[in-house]
Amino acid sequence: MLEAIFTHQKIIPVITLDRVEDAVPLAEALSNGGLDVLEVTFRTEAAAAAIQAIRDQVPAVTVGAGTVTSPKILQAAETAGATFFVSPGATDGLLAAADPKSFLPGVATLSEMMRAFDAGFRVQKFFPAEALGGTRFLNSVSAPLPQLQFCATGGIHAGNLAAYLALPSVLAIGGSWMVPAGYIRAGKWDDITRLAKTACSLAVSAIGPGLDKTVQSKGSLSHE
């Protein structure tokens, strides 16, 4: 499932919502801009209800849960209806409770990458990417661990995303620059749509028009 999601869309908006009522218009704004796979982080009390609202009211969007730091949060995210799950790290408890088809464990070292792979997780989250050495680190990792693929997140923005997407080991990147908190609070949905369209254009430029997997027809991903 994760590989299908990240083939469909190369840039995943990472969203933190303080108000449930912002969830649906934000999801619609991003989808209108070509980004119909979203990650809502469990950093606020609104997260579970926001995920459920998007799932129920914006069927064109595939919504995942981020900042899943315990099996309890994983269960809450599943109950809310999230399709995929993302963690900043990878505890033994999470690796045991999660399904490799839908869970993206966070890794920062080769030992963590190897441990997650041994537990069945071939697709992993490299976080915080820029602080850990960015593309140079990932390029070095690809030699001893060619079987791994990554969604890189942390410090990635419009100015450096192309370098990440150029790496064969990077399936996708995550970022929040297209969902500024101030825009969400002010309800600037048209501006967020514009930022989403720009992000899609940047992804197409980075991977080439012949490999355009970012802007596709809506509803092409399963929510099962």
Active site residues: 39, 125
Q: ω into residue 128 within 30 of 0, thus cis?
A: yes
- CA separation for the pair 54, 205 (Å, rounded): 29
Element (H, E) at 40: strand 37-41
- Please give the structure tokens belonging to residue 82: 């999230």
Residue 167 CB coordination number (10 Å): 16
Q: Which among 64, 56, 66 is positioned nearest to 36, based on CA atoms?
A: 64
Q: How far apart are CA 85 and CA 75, in angstroms?
A: 10
* C-alpha dihedral (22, 158, 151, 30), degrees to nearest 10: 30
Residues contacting 165, CB < 8 A, separation 6+: 10, 172, 173, 203, 206, 207
